[in-house]
Amino acid sequence: MATRWGLCGAGKISHDFSVAVKTLPPEDHQIAAIASRSTERAKYFAKKHDIPKTYGSYEDLARDSDIDIVYLGVLHTEHWHVGLLFLKAGKNVLCEKPFAMNSRQVKDLVEEAKKNNVFLMEAIWSRCFPVHAEVRRQLAEEAVGEVKLVKAYFGSPQLHVPRSVEKELGGGALLDIGVYCLQFVLMVFNGERPASIQATGVLLDSGVDESVVVVMKFTRKRMALCVFSIAARLPNDAVISGTKGSISVLGPMHCPTKLVVNGKETEHPLPEPCLPLNFTNSTGLCYEAEEVRRCLLKGLKESPRMPLSESVLLTEIMDEIRKQVGVVFSQDRQ
Ligand SMILES: NC(=O)c1ccc[n+]([C@@H]2O[C@H](COP(=O)([O-])OP(=O)(O)OC[C@H]3O[C@@H](n4cnc5c(N)ncnc54)[C@H](OP(=O)(O)O)[C@@H]3O)[C@@H](O)[C@H]2O)c1
């Protein structure tokens, strides 16, 4: 039986997700429905992507008993209450990153998923890429000896994008792209809580972070450096340096195709899209769709690739970085 996906939100990432799912065998994955706040937008999307069912409200999708999992592709600010809607309706949910606006909201989502015994995953798609699988394999084999320093850069000028810069839309570099650098560090250090976090950054006039530098210390004299910006173009690579060598995930590190381990480069090409994409390498979203199907078939309630405990830790780290940099959202006061 194919996994039947219901898409929530007819925006840019839902488009790319739908294109990515089309690269997978139809006997394994079907996009069964699309829901938007606007019936017209849902119908337009459904026509473009050949989706059988359309809904003009998220509540209608929540009532559809023929859906195996909801892909939540709405703005960050909406993840909490829309996520709760589906979880309360007993739906499995794959929620776009960042999971929510702060760790309190993330804990609510996790608690609700557990209460309803449904699957929940933060869509950190990077974790499901073949390059990341290879990084984990190399680390397990101690290819670089003992890891001492992890560096991750992500800079992408997007000051023209409203959801990147406006506070009411959950703007700022941290929640949008910094999350990828931080999750990379956590992946390398097996979800360990940093012993210390030092962050500094510059803000836009809207009060959200434009560029941030974060230094974290971990036990056993290990460190991490993350730099992210929505104003500057950066190399967007990630480097793991150890006592015996190094692993470089070449840019774009959040959806990579190239890896260099101790000087030896390998390439992991992506499937070709059937329609133009909004974001870089987005057909790689197919790997997280496959991961979700694997989990659902096994009856898992979370993904071992991105466990819920790590999503909570990731958001707690982001809360601390925002505190140090001085970014406060209205959701923090609720
Ligand atoms: N994995 C990745 O590589 C990746 C890439 C880009 C974005 N994302 C994540 O995906 C999410 C959506 O990003 P996007 O670029 O796709 O955004 P988008 O196209 O601007 O908006 C996505 C959807 O959010 C809803 N929405 C838009 N503005 C809203 C508002 N003012 N109030 C309430 N809902 C609103 C709309 O749903 P309706 O259609 O129902 O109106 C819209 O279709 C974000 O959380 C982002 O971090 C992930």
Q: Which residues lie below 8 Å from residue 73, measured CB to CB, with a gap of 6+? A: 7, 8, 9, 11, 13, 14, 17, 96
The atom of ligand 1 lying closest to the CA of 10 is: 39
Instruction: Answer yes or no: is pLDDT of 300 > 90.
Output: yes
Pocket test for ligand 1, best of 75, 82, 285 (most atoms within 8 A of CB): 75
Q: What pLDDT band is residue 334 in, cutting at 50, 70 and 90?
A: confident
Instruction: Answer yes or no: is pLDDT of 57 > 90.
Output: yes
Establish whether domains 3-124 and 130-266+304-333 are of one fold.
Answer: no
Q: What pLDDT band is residue 29 in, cutting at 50, 70 and 90?
A: very high
The pLDDT of 245-273, averaged and rounded, is: 98
Is residue 38 in contact with ligand 1, taking CB distance under 6 Å? yes
Q: Any idea which fold 3-124 has?
A: Rossmann fold (3.40.50)
Atom 31 in ligand 1: residue holding the nearest Cα? 169
pLDDT digits (tens, 9 = 90+) for 174-229: 999 999 999 999 999 999 999 999 999 999 999 999 999 999 999 999 999 999 99
- HSE at residue 5, side-chain half, CA atoms within 13 A, is 32
Is residue 43 in contact with ligand 1, taking CB distance under 6 Å? no
- In this prediction, residue 212 carries a pLDDT of 98
Q: How high does pLDDT run on average in the chain?
A: 98
Model-level pTM greater than 0.95?
A: yes
Q: Which CATH architecture has domain 130-266+304-333?
A: 2-Layer Sandwich (3.30)
The atom of ligand 1 lying closest to the CA of 123 is: 1
Atom 6 in ligand 1: residue holding the nearest Cα? 13
Neighbours of 111 (CB within 10 A): 13
Dig out the tokens for 113 from the structure: 């998923």
Domain boundaries, the chain: 3-124, 130-266+304-333
- In this prediction, residue 299 carries a pLDDT of 98
